[in-house]
Every structure is written in structure tokens, then in C-alpha cells.
Amino acid sequence: MTEQIMDCPVCGGKNPELFAEAYDKEYFTSDEKYRYARCEQCTAVYLDKPPTDRLHEIYPPNYYSYGGIENSTTFTERVKARLDRRMLRKVLRGIPGRRLRVLDIGGGAGWMLDVARAASSRVAETHEVDLKKEPAEAAERAGHVYHCMAVEDFTSSQRFDLIMMLSIIEHVPDPRSVLRRMADLLTDDGLLLVKTPNTATLDCRLFRHRNWGGFHCPRHFVLFTAAGLARLGAECGLEVVRSQYTQGAPQWALSVMAWLSDRGMLRISADRPAYTHPVYELLTALFAAVDYARLPFAPTAQIVVTFRRAR
């Protein structure tokens, strides 16, 4: 008898449908089969019974963000850094004030805070919240205030002009409570920038039953569509300033690599995770071009939503 799937962690919706089954095809932290469900009520796709008590297992020591991939000198990472700087320059222009306070969630040593400072001289105070203690020294050396804790535990008497949650909301088991907390931390004119995978897109349809890279299995707990994320934001006291799609080359690349690995055409393992394989960079470059070419015509692999406090 199949075990019942848990209720939706976003809206509490009952009777979800089984969306997919997947394995950890990036880091091979276990042989366990994981189930993803889709809520008919709010459209969220979520991991059934996420392993929140096994974070040290599912985020191994060679996890990509612990190894400084953000400081990579590869061509695709250099292009990404330039695009991030351009994006933040545009976002920061929309925030008034001579001295801005910026908070980043889950960014390790604060490399996106470095990008924010490079994008605007008005960024005067920067804070990083991350679970791991190892990046603290590098973050503080770079001039950031480091808070070693889960985002759910972070509180502050200060408010922030910009909060960045880039590829983070999908990692938390209760995105509603996190968005409510972020709304409370924003200044009156502050902005919350959220980037997350999009489930209503071609790569998900193609690889849904083939270890889709957007699952980042089992590290992505809740996934959204643009409409679903906007609706949740509204319920948390936020309103959308801008919603757009962008490229999601890594999840395309990881999907293809898992498919090739299953057929014995590519070797990836716990000792050689997908992002370290030379094919990974080639595929990310290819699929970044594919998604950018599709942008004018169709929803692509990632959503970027800018929120502000509801007025």
C-alpha cells in the first residue's frame, strides 16, 4: 500500500497528486527514492516529507556553494557575474536613499553582497545569513556582518533596503513563514528579490520523470510557478513590482547529465558530482543560449520576482 503524501506545505491543500519520483543524481548522498507532489489548490510542487533533519547528509562537504563556485574563472561564471551586477544595478536604482542596507540569504561568504557593492556606491552596510559557520571568516574579512543561522531563526531590529533570496526559497520547508519574515524586515521603500526554478516550463515537462535538475533532489523542498509565487507573496504582505523569467542553464544541464548517467554515457558520482564534470560547463553555456533565445516567446527555467511591502 502506497504511503499517503503529506498535505501541501504552502497552503495546506489536501489530496495532492503525485508529480514525480526522483533520486539524488548530483551528489549521490543516498539511494533513496524521493516523491514530489503537486498541489491542485496553489500549484506548488513539493518534496514529500523533506529530510529537514538530515541537512548535513544532503548537503555534503563538496556541495557546490561551499567550494566557491561563485568565484570561478570559467567563462560561464564570468558571464553570470556580469549579468548579476547588471541586474542588481537596475534593482538598486529603484530604491531611494543615500545609504542602503542590504541583506543576503544563503549566500555563503557574501559574494552577491560583493556584487551589490560593486553595482552601487550607496550600498553601505551588508549582512549575510547562512547555515554554515565555515564562510564566516571570509564574509567578515570582506566587510559583511555574518549571521550563522537558519533564515527561519534570523531576527533583527534593523530593516533592510534590499533583501536577496536568490535560489533560496525552494530550499526552505515553510516558504510562507520565511516570506512573512522578509516582509517584516523590509523598509517602507525596500525591495525583496527572489529567484527560483519555474515548474511551468519546457525543461520540467521534458525531464519531470527523468530526475529533472530543478528538483535538485532532495535539496529543493518547494517549487513554484510565477503566478503561484506572486499569490503566496500577496498572502504574506508583499506585492509584485516586477516578475520576469530568466535562463536556468544549470537545471537544464543537470537534467541532461542525469539522463546520460542513467544510460552509462557519463560518469558522475559522490566523488565527482555533476557540477565538477567538464561537460557541465559546456551544457550550461549551450542551454543559457537556448533559454535566452526562448525568452521573448515562452516561460523559461527560472523566475525572478521583485517584491515590496504591500501598500
The helix/strand/coil state of 272 is coil
> What pLDDT does 83 receive?
78
Q: In whole angstroms, what is the distance from residue 118 CA to residue 126 CA?
A: 12
> What pLDDT does 75 receive?
61
Question: What is the tally of helices (H) and strands (E) in the chain?
Answer: 9, 11
DSSP H or E run through 129: strand 123-130
Dihedral sign of CA atoms 147, 151, 153, 154 in order: positive
DSSP H or E run through 237: none
DSSP category for residue 5: P
Strands (E), the chain: 17-22, 34-38, 45-47, 100-105, 123-130, 145-148, 160-166, 186-197, 222-223, 238-246, 302-309
Q: In whole angstroms, what is the distance from residue 295 CA to residue 233 CA?
A: 24
Closest CA to 207 of 30, 66, 19: 19
Q: In whole angstroms, what is the distance from residue 242 CA to residue 47 CA?
A: 28
Q: What is the mean pLDDT of each run of 10 residues along the chain (311 residues)?
A: 84 94 96 96 96 92 64 60 86 95 94 94 96 90 95 94 97 96 97 97 96 97 97 97 94 96 94 92 93 94 96 87
